[in-house]
A = this chain, B = another copy of it.
Amino acid sequence: MTNQPNPDEPIRRDTFDRDGAARGTARMEAFADAVFAIAFTLPVIAIEVPEGGADLLAELLRLWPSYLGYLIASVVIGLYWALHHFSGAIYRTTGHYLNLATVLFLTMIGFIAFPARVFAEQVADPVHRADAAQYLAVSLALTAASWLIKWTVGRRTGHVDTRLDPAYLHRLDRKYWLSTGVLILAAALSFLSWQAGLAIAAAVTLYYFRPPETPRYQSEAPAVEGEGR
């Protein structure tokens, strides 16, 4: 399945034999965007309007664990969306196996708001917060692993833009392996010290607020599609 297309020729529907029909990434991105958007927005409906005791504002403030859960999910899903937006510039096409790996990754994206909510609702409870933190740390590690699988499948099946500088692609490989490795260690560590494990998982996640390295090409970089017009 290493039928690398020639970068100087147009890619055709039948370029990747044994990988279904080669297509541009537009539809894979549209499906992913919709899953991201739903996973991002759904947690709000789990917030229940308070009955309204003497002081409604105080009760609305007491909902802070719900707001926190929504914020954690927004940060995690938002950062993965930005990463997926970026990686959409790295792929030229998609095929059957990359589609299936994308589905696997999106299964984790659709799920991640749940452990975020569990953690936010238990963080103030000394009895349960260690369990909730471990559950969140494990979920973050599984999500990173599903990203790494997707990335690796895309690399192996030849859908990454062959005009990119190989050294640049190797730096991306290393970055994703390293992030996943550290998140798996953080998940394991959380069973010894949930504070330490979660702190490391949070640090890796927040690291992705930094912009990814601008792509390096072997020749002139491709022009941006559409240009917002």
Contacts and interface: CB of A to CB of B under 8 A. Distances in A.
A39 B41 contact: yes
Total copies of this chain within the assembly = 4
A228 B121 contact: no
Given A57-B135, A225-B229, A227-B93, A46 B44 contact: no
Interface in A161-216: 161, 209, 211-212, 214-216
Q: Which of A25, A110, A220, A222 has the most CB of B within 10 A?
A: A110
Interface string A54-89: 111100100000000011001000110110011011
Given A41-B42, A132-B56, A214-B18, A93 B33 contact: no
Range of interface residues on A (Cβ < 8 Å): 35 or more
A18 B56 CA distance: 43
A27 B34 CA distance: 11
A5 to B, nearest CB: 9
A127 B34 contact: no
B52 A127 contact: yes
B52 A225 contact: no
A105 to B, nearest CB: 11
A149 interface: no
Interface of A: 10-31, 33-42, 44-47, 49, 52, 54-57, 60, 70-71, 74, 78-79, 81-82, 85-86, 88-97, 99-100, 103-104, 106-107, 110-111, 113-114, 117-118, 121-122, 125, 127-128, 131-132, 134-135, 159, 161, 209, 211-212, 214-217, 220-229
25 contacts: A10-B223, A12-B222, A14-B214, A17-B214, A24-B227, A26-B228, A33-B34, A37-B38, A40-B110, A49-B117, A52-B127, A52-B128, A54-B127, A56-B135, A57-B135, A78-B104, A78-B106, A85-B94, A89-B228, A92-B227, A93-B224, A93-B227, A94-B228, A222-B229, A223-B229
